[in-house]
Amino acid sequence: MNTLEKLFLENKAWIQEKLSANPDFLTHLAQNRSPDIFWIGCSDSRLHADEITNCEPGEIIVHRNIGNQVVSTDFNLMGALEYAVDVLQVKHIIVCGHYRCRSIKAALDRPNPSLPFADKWLRNIKDVYRLHRPEIENLDSLDERWKLLVELNIREQVNNLSHSQVIQKSWRWARRPELHGFVYGLHDGLLKEVCSMTPYSALDPIYEYDLDCLTA
């Protein structure tokens, strides 16, 4: 049995198991849902938001990319963010990274000339490293530096969210959503919050939009 055949077989087994437990599963799934959470996670194959939070399909809207980054020129993410905030009216946005993230480790090293596109994306994490270089390099071991950069990157991505016009507009007129930075431990399976921001959090004025010219 090849890899794709196994996928189809497991898909059939999965839906049979779901329907055995709940005959209305597909009917319920087909209904419109209004999730309260928009989750921005890492592309790592070991991290699935629904699974690690024990949520049912439809409870979380998810966007994933390498290193759980919030980049203002990533129109895929920005479009999903706008939809989640303005249309779904989510109450919480979670940026979730994880310890032992290989993209974070790669950002601690020199660029890899054989992976030019990946290196362009990782440059954003390298910027986080550069901003916090003294704090990171003050640590003795690679594992300690790696762990700290994972957490600092999560904090920076939450800050990047707060710098977006989508978030600032919603904060001003709807007083939502709250922003959270989570880290997931592959060693223990647990989530931990490392930072948060609310509609009342102070922003550096250099990132604040002048919203007086817009209407709610």
Domain that residue 81 falls in: 34-207
Output the DSSP codes for 181-192. Answer: EEEE-TTT--EE
Label the pairing between strands 60-65 and 37-42: parallel
Per-residue pLDDT, averaged over 194-201, amounts to: 97
Whether 174 is covered by a domain: the verdict is yes
Is the entire prediction scored with pTM above 0.75? yes
Q: Which residues pair with 179 in a beta bridge?
A: 93, 197
Q: What is the DSSP letter of 68?
A: -
Whether 2 is covered by a domain: the verdict is no
Q: Which residues pair with 61 in a beta bridge?
A: 38
CA distance 144 to 162: 28
Q: Say how many C-beta atoms besides its own lie within 10 A of residue 68's C-beta.
A: 31
Annotation says 44 is catalytic: yes
CA distance 129 to 145: 10
Is residue 97 scored above 90 in pLDDT?
Answer: yes
Whether 134 is covered by a domain: the verdict is yes
Whether 19 is covered by a domain: the verdict is no
CA distance 36 to 164: 19
Which has the closest alpha carbon to 197: 174, 216, 171? 171
Q: What is the pLDDT of residues 37-77, one digit of tens each?
A: 999 999 999 999 999 999 988 899 999 999 999 999 999 99
pLDDT for position 60: 95
Find the range with the poorest average confidence among 19-28, 84-93, 122-131, 135-144: 19-28
pLDDT band per the 50, 70, 90 thresholds, residue 33:
confident
CA distance 154 to 194: 8
Q: What is the DSSP letter of 73?
A: T
Whether 157 is covered by a domain: the verdict is yes
pLDDT for position 57: 84
The radius of gyration of the chain from alpha carbons, rounded to an integer in Å, stands at 19
Task: Choose, from 44, 63, 145, 180, the residue flagged as catalytic.
Answer: 44
pLDDT for position 200: 95
Is residue 96 within 8 A of residue 192, CB to CB? The reply is no
Is residue 208 scored above 70 in pLDDT?
Answer: yes
Per-residue pLDDT, averaged over 86-100, amounts to: 97
Whether 17 is covered by a domain: the verdict is no
pLDDT band per the 50, 70, 90 thresholds, residue 135:
very high
Task: Choose, from 63, 101, 180, 195, the residue flagged as catalytic.
Answer: 101
For residue 162, the domain's CATH number is 3.40.1050.10
pLDDT band per the 50, 70, 90 thresholds, residue 80:
very high
Number of domains in the chain: 1
Annotation says 50 is catalytic: no
Task: Choose, from 28, 46, 123, 175, the residue flagged as catalytic.
Answer: 46
